[in-house]
A = this chain, B = another copy of it.
Amino acid sequence: MKAEIICVGTELLLGDILNTNARFLSRQLAALGITVHRQWVVGDNEGRLAQLVHEALERSDLLVFSGGLGPTADDLTKETVARCFGDTLALEPSILQNIRGYFASTGRHMPPHNEKQAMVPQQGGWFENHNGTAPAVWFEKDGKRAVLLPGPPSELHPLWNEQVGPWLAAGQKQMLYSLVLRVTGLGESHVEEKVGHLLENQNPTAALYAKTGEVHIRITALAKTQTEGEAACRAYAEKFYAILGDHIYGEGDKGLEHALVKALQQKGLTVATAESCTGGLVSQRITQVPGASEVFGFGFCTYANQAKHKLLGVEDRLLETVGAVSSQVASQMAVGAARVSGADIAVSLTGIAGPGGGTDKKPVGLVYVAACRGNDVYVAKLLLGARDRQSIRTSAANRALDMARRLALGLSLPGTKHFAADQTADFEAEER
């Protein structure tokens, strides 16, 4: 089956936003064994859109749209495609009720505009949107289909995953199954050195993708059933596990924060955070995981020196001599966070995220990450280079989450120095 992806939105043509929907839909269609041979982006212009739909129907079997389903007058994708498919739209009372309920749940009245979102195809069909007001709709004519999805990713993704994807999958003979292995603690070229020989295979295929602070390995199998595809990917994944070991921290779309929360839950442990340069990024990521409250209760965002001293008991003497960005202060932050919170494990970060504040001795990108459990403190000194503030913070947060994960699981902590918690003020000698 040949498909085209059509994203509607002037903001895409103006370059205001990145087209993440095209990528998402391409991946999803590839996984169903449906070949995407074009993606295109057009503005909210009825004439241009209708012309393109007619052209696309000449060459393709399936058109997948995103965007243009909003309540305003210039949202006209649904009306235009309906005409191209010779279908008509009519008001669906159950959707109208949902939209009214959606507004009521946020304490507002539905503006009259939004009524047009409740219009659905009379020959085609629709899928209910549980995260917004625009339902997905589909049209069919002469064996060719169009599916229209709302543009916001927070609505498009669940609609696809729960309803539209399975509906399309039901008609497919071969499908692709993918498995992503998530690797931390090794750069892309190091991963490639170790597993390069596994990247030349025909089926399953495997490819590396460098991400901020981690590397992903995507394994993809072409198979007749999901079960067969899953078994092929799993068998191939074992080859990577045999080489990379506990550098593979998880699979799929769940980041290090999920791996940490899971490890803590498994071991019945809790974690606390003490953050300076990351300003709450680590605690924010941990608490983005549903159920984090079982394993996380206290986070300290000690951006000022005074906060490090007052909340965590970091010695003023150290802040004045070796400075806030030092392995000693990182250690005392972690130890203080564990003591005040009573958590089993604590992690801390202090560094220079830039763009200002760097010196020759302490350049932008220098971050100390400490993790403690009981009387054991481990400190990593990161030199993340003069990258942008956000990348430095993300990479440092990844390292903190991984160190906590390793402590929780009883794994070794490569690339760290070990100290005793009651001696964190006395190891200047180690530093120099």
B-side contacts of A48, CB under 8 Å: 37-38
Q: Assess whether B296 is in contact with A280, with CB atoms less than 8 Å apart.
A: no
- Interface 1/0 per residue, A172-204 and B, CB below 8 Å: 000000100000000111101100000000000
Given A154-B212, A280-B299, A284-B279, A20-B23 contact (CB < 8 Å): no
Which of B18, B105, B178, B299 contacts A301, CB < 8 Å? Answer: B299
User: Do B280 and A207 touch across chains, with their CB atoms under 8 A apart?
Assistant: no
The distance in angstroms between the C-alpha atoms of A365 and B281, with both chains bound, is: 22
**Candidates B22, B130, B208, B307; contact of A341 at CB < 8 Å:** B307
Closest Cβ of chain B: how far from A205's Cβ, in Å? Answer: 9
**Chain A binding site: helix, strand, loop or mixed by DSSP?**
mixed
Assembled-state Cα–Cα distance A291/B280 (Å) = 16
Residues of A340-373 contacting chain B, CB below 8 A: 340-341, 354-356, 363, 365
Bound CA–CA A192/B389 (angstroms): 36
CB proximity to B under 8 Å, residues A112-149: 113-114, 130-131
A389→B48 CA distance, assembly (Å): 38
Q: How many copies of this chain sit in the oligomeric assembly?
A: 2
| Residue in contact with A279 in the complex, picked from B22, B220, B287, B385, CB distance below 8 Å | B287
Query: Is A280 a contact partner of B290 (Cβ separation < 8 A)?
Result: no
Q: Which of A9-17, A84-92, A222-230 contacts B (4 or more CB under 8 A)?
A: A9-17
Q: Which of B17, B187, B341, B391 contacts A108 (CB 8 A)?
A: B187
How close is A300's CB to chain B, nearest CB, in angstroms?
A: 7
Chain B residues in 8 Å Cβ range of A355 = 290
Q: Nearest chain B CB to A115's CB is how many angstroms away? A: 11
Which B residues touch A54, using CB under 8 A? none
Give the distance to chain B from A88, nearest Cβ to Cβ, in Å.
26
Contacts of A192 in B (CB 8 A): 72, 111, 113
A binding-site residues for B, Cβ under 8 Å: 10-20, 22-28, 30, 36-43, 45, 48, 52, 55, 70-72, 74, 102, 105-108, 111, 113-114, 130-131, 152, 154, 158, 178, 187-190, 192-193, 207-210, 212, 218, 220, 273, 275, 277-284, 286-288, 290-293, 296-304, 306-307, 310-311, 340-341, 354-356, 363, 365, 383-391, 393
13 residue pairs from A and B, CB less than 8 Å apart: A14-B26, A15-B23, A16-B207, A38-B40, A113-B189, A154-B390, A279-B296, A280-B282, A291-B356, A297-B303, A297-B304, A299-B299, A299-B302
Leading 5 A-B pairs by shortest Cβ distance: A279-B287, A299-B301, A280-B280, A297-B304, A15-B26
